[in-house]
Amino acid sequence: MTDVALIDAGGANLGSVRYALERLGARVQLVRDAAGLRGASRVILPGVGAAPHGMARLHAQGLVQPLRELQVPLLGICLGMQLLFEHSEEGNVECLGLLPGVVRHLHPATGIRVPHMGWNRLLPLRQAALMDGVADRASAYFVHSYAAPLNEHTVAACDHGGLFAAVVQRGRHSGAQFHPERSAATGARILRNFLENEPA
């Protein structure tokens, strides 16, 4: 059984993420400070809302430096993934800096609404254990107005008025811009892969 530290970042999706992990057999501990990270074999940073609020909460909980120094696999979900990057345009805030790049606002256009809300396809860009067993062009559920750019750490992209990073992985740091806990079999498979596979 995998011991997962689930960080209480104040998001409304916390309960559904916990339930999704427990259905996969994980033993989940809600974490509100650095001491809660001890003994975990996996750490998940979920989140909804704004980057400045998310980072302020992590600072208040004393979790910023411990997350930067973490020696076990870390998965960011939705806002949690955005906080793994160096900077966010949202509030012009410095983030955790575990992945290179700046998170930028999605641009509305004809037929393109922001926030990006609903089901959209994942477009695989490279092999990664996180995507093992996920069907080509599988769909996932998104709710967001900001997104990270494509770079060498992008595992899968999504197209909403232009391509953005939907799944990222750099060593033991990974992220999903969508909500795996709301993405049916696709999301469950990605969570299982995170729990069971060692990062390359």
Say yes or no to pLDDT of 91 above 80: yes
Taking a C-beta distance cutoff of 8 angstroms, is the pair 9, 54 a contact? yes
Say yes or no to pLDDT of 98 above 70: yes
Q: Which CATH superfamily is domain 3-196 in?
A: Class I glutamine amidotransferase (GATase) domain (3.40.50.880)
Q: Phi/psi at 5 (nearest 5 deg)? A: -90, 115
Structural domain boundaries of the chain? Answer: 3-196
- The whole-number average pLDDT for the span 141-163 is 97
pLDDT of residue 108: 87
- The whole-number average pLDDT for the span 106-130 is 93
pLDDT of residue 131: 95
Give the model confidence (pLDDT) of 12-59 as tens digits.
Answer: 678 999 999 999 999 999 999 999 999 999 999 998 889 999 999 999
Model-level pTM? 0.96
CA 52 to chain centre: 16
Q: Which of 53, 78, 116, 153 is catalytic?
A: 78
Average pLDDT, the chain: 95
At 191, is the pLDDT very low, low, confident or very high (cuts 50, 70, 90)? very high
What tokens does 186 get?
Answer: 């696709």
User: What percentage of the chain exceeds 70 in pLDDT?
Assistant: 98
Whether 78 is a known active-site residue: answer yes
- The whole-number average pLDDT for the span 88-97 is 98
Q: Which of 59, 105, 181, 196 is catalytic?
A: 181
Q: Is the dihedral of CA 117, 122, 127, 130 positive or negative?
A: positive
Strand order across the 146-147 sheet: 93-94, 85-88, 99-105, 146-147
Whether 181 is a known active-site residue: answer yes
- Within 13 A of 168's CA, how many CA atoms are on the CB side? 30
pLDDT of residue 110: 86
- The whole-number average pLDDT for the span 94-101 is 98
- The whole-number average pLDDT for the span 144-148 is 97
d(CA 136, CA 134): 7
Q: Which of 153, 160, 173, 179 is catalytic?
A: 179
